[in-house]
């Protein structure tokens, strides 16, 4: 079936990729301090406090991101996805202007503000893009979540290569350009949102009872022939966002047993994602490679290689996702990462030189990028409603804070090989968990996925992967709304008249 008959494919791709630019800023913001910390220290004269400030400003970003995750839920519910996206851009620009002031305190405040903005960008794009993307192409579009964030990482690493490795050079101030660059991207995003992303998501408009606006937003993604599929999609998302007969909030979610499995999978899967070992590479790769035997410049080069491999791996995920289910990708990826961490631990502790542990770590990055990094947030956006996704995202970045605080301490207490063994065990446990508790989503009807999560009700039929909506199923679908919905939304009859 030609999906272009039902879907405005070009419009969907343009808007989704534009929204995913926020993830580019997230990846860039996480990685940028890694390569230029020494140069900032020379500029701001940190002296003997250098190590303390390194740890502080590595931690302050995930702390800010956690705050950003926390405020995203209420903001998108009250003001909408589009306005929240715009506000995050202004906040990022403000934070950049502050951190460029030549004072350590101002640098810290600016980093916190850009972290908060990045936290919004970490949660909002998967929700927003998922809601405006028809189910027939959601798997392909969702793959770019990781590609965008990895692109931000590699840009930050490449920009760090020209930095001098000793103080006194005039080019030391290049680090300021490295922080101005993402602010310029945020400015572009603000300007282009005005004309490219003209509407909020249909789901937001339906939450507010703005039926006509929901119809207009649907027409940005669907042709006239496909509008019926879009309306059924909204019904499914509305059912997934209710507790009893009320719209779910955070309190409802944790009190309603029907969300228990959904919450459990979200929290546990994110734990294994965070403690896979990858974030030691993103935050401390220069330090890790130095400890394995490289100098500052060689460590920066290897850090760039890490970013390139991560980006290439994200593209490799596209064919992988076509042939394998999400659950299979999680299991296979975790087992391979566990084996590679064992190998890296053995080689780093037996004086076989620097080349073998480095090769194994780079292979680990390749496997992570083509499995867990690419599938995790796409999968969570498929199974979690926006309220739960916000909470899980905040929890994810709290774990990142724990990692960034503990890693530099533990690496001084233990040999780095011990930490590599710990990551190996955690990845193996992740594979075991995925086998017994996770729910497969690839190619399944949304209603079936929700039933597997104990959330389902009769909400219509549509596929959440490449398979187009079955027209025969739609013709047989009972499109009557529940009585309570009609009573609360009398004008909503207009959106259903075209379904029959």
- When divided into structural domains, the chain yields a total of 1
Q: Is residue 42 a part of any domain in this protein?
A: no
**Burial bucket for residue 402 (CB in 10 Å: 0-12, 13-18, 19+):** middle
| 139 contacts 466 by C-beta, under 8 angstroms | yes
- Residue 24 located in a structural domain: no
* 445 phi/psi in degrees, rounded to 5: -65, 145
* CA Rg value for the chain: 23
295 or 268: which leads in pLDDT? 268
The whole-number average pLDDT for the span 427-455 is 81
Query: What is the per-residue pLDDT for 500?
Result: 37
- Reported as a pLDDT band with limits 50, 70 and 90, residue 28 is very high
Domain membership of residue 336 (yes or no) is yes
Mean pLDDT value across residues 408-433: 86
Answer whether residue 284 is part of any domain: yes
pLDDT at residue 407 is higher than 60: yes
Which of 202-206, 254-258, 333-337 has the least mean pLDDT? 254-258
Q: What are phi and psi of 148, to 5 degrees?
A: -65, -45
Lowest-pLDDT range of 123-132, 275-284, 485-494: 485-494
pLDDT digits (tens, 9 = 90+) for 326-384: 899 999 999 999 999 898 888 877 776 667 777 888 888 889 988 888 888 888 878 88
Q: What is the mean pLDDT of residues 54-68?
A: 86
Residue 297 lies in a domain: yes
Tell me: pLDDT of 107 over 80.
yes
End-to-end CA separation in angstroms for the chain: 22
Q: Residue 103 has what DSSP assignment? A: S
CA angle 24, 280, 63 (to 5 degrees): 60
Please name the helix (run of DSSP H) or strand (run of DSSP E) that holds residue 262, with its range, or none: helix 260-274
Is residue 290, in this structure, part of any structural domain at all? yes
Query: What is the structure's pLDDT at 460?
Result: 40
The CATH number of whichever domain residue 314 belongs to comes to 1.20.1250.20
455 domain-assigned: no
Whether residue 245 lies inside any domain: the answer is no
Number of H helices, E strands in the chain: 23, 2
pLDDT at 77 over 50: yes
* pLDDT on residue 11: 86
Percent of the chain predicted with pLDDT > 90: 20
Q: Which of 128-142, 145-159, 263-277, 429-443 has the lowest mean pLDDT?
A: 128-142
In tens, the pLDDT along 208-249 reads 888 888 888 888 888 887 787 778 777 766 665 554 445 556
426 or 381, which is more confident? 426
**Domain span holding position 276:** 252-438
């Amino acid at each position: 079936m030609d999906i272009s008959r039902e879907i405005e494919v070009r419009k969907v791709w343009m808007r989704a990729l534009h929204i995913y630019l926020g993830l580019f800023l997230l990846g860039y913001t996480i990685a940028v301090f890694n390569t230029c910390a020494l140069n900032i220290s020379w500029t701001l004269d940190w002296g003997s406090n250098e190590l303390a400030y390194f740890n502080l400003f590595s931690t302050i970003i995930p702390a800010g991101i956690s705050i950003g995750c926390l405020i995203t839920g209420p903001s998108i519910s009250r003001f909408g996805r589009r306005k929240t996206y715009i506000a995050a851009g202004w906040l990022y620009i403000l934070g950049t202007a502050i951190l460029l002031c030549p004072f350590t305190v101002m640098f810290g405040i600016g980093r916190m503000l850009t972290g908060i903005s990045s936290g919004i960008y970490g949660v909002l794009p998967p929700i927003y893009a998922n809601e405006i993307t028809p189910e027939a192409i959601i798997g392909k579009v969702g793959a770019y979540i990781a590609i965008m964030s990895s692109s931000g990482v590699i840009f930050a690493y490449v920009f760090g290569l020209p930095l001098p490795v000793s103080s006194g050079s005039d080019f030391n101030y290049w680090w300021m350009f490295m922080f101005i660059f993402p602010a310029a991207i945020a400015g572009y995003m603000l300007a282009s949102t005005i004309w490219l992303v003209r509407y909020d998501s249909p789901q937001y408009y339906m939450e507010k009872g703005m039926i006509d606006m929901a119809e207009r937003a649907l027409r940005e993604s669907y042709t006239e022939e496909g509008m019926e599929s879009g309306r059924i999609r909204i019904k499914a998302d509305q059912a997934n966002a209710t507790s009893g007969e009320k719209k779910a909030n955070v309190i409802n979610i944790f009190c309603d047993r029907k969300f228990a499995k959904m919450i459990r999978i979200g929290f546990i899967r994110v734990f294994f994602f965070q403690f896979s070992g990858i974030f030691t590479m993103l935050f401390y790769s220069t330090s890790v490679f130095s400890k394995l035997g490289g100098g500052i410049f060689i460590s920066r080069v290897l850090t760039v290689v890490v970013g390139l491999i991560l980006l290439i791996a994200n593209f490799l995920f596209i064919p992988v996702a076509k042939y394998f289910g999400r659950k299979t990708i999680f299991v296979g990826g975790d087992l391979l990462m566990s084996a590679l961490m064992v190998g890296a631990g053995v080689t780093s502790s037996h004086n076989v030189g620097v080349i073998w542990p480095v090769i194994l770590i780079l292979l680990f990055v390749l496997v992570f990028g083509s499995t867990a990094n690419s599938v995790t947030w796409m999968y969570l956006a498929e199974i979690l409603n926006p309220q739960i996704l916000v909470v899980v995202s905040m929890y994810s970045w709290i774990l990142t804070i724990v990692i960034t605080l503990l890693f530099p301490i533990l690496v001084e207490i233990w040999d780095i090989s011990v930490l590599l063994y710990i990551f190996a065990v955690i990845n193996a446990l992740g594979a075991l968990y995925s086998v017994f508790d996770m729910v497969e989503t690839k190619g399944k009807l949304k209603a079936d996925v929700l039933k597997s999560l104990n959330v389902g009700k009769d909400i219509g039929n549509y596929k959440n992967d490449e398979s187009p909506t079955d027209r025969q199923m739609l013709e047989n679908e009972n499109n009557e709304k529940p009585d309570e919905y009609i009573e609360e939304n009398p004008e909503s009859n207009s959106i259903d008249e075209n379904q029959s």
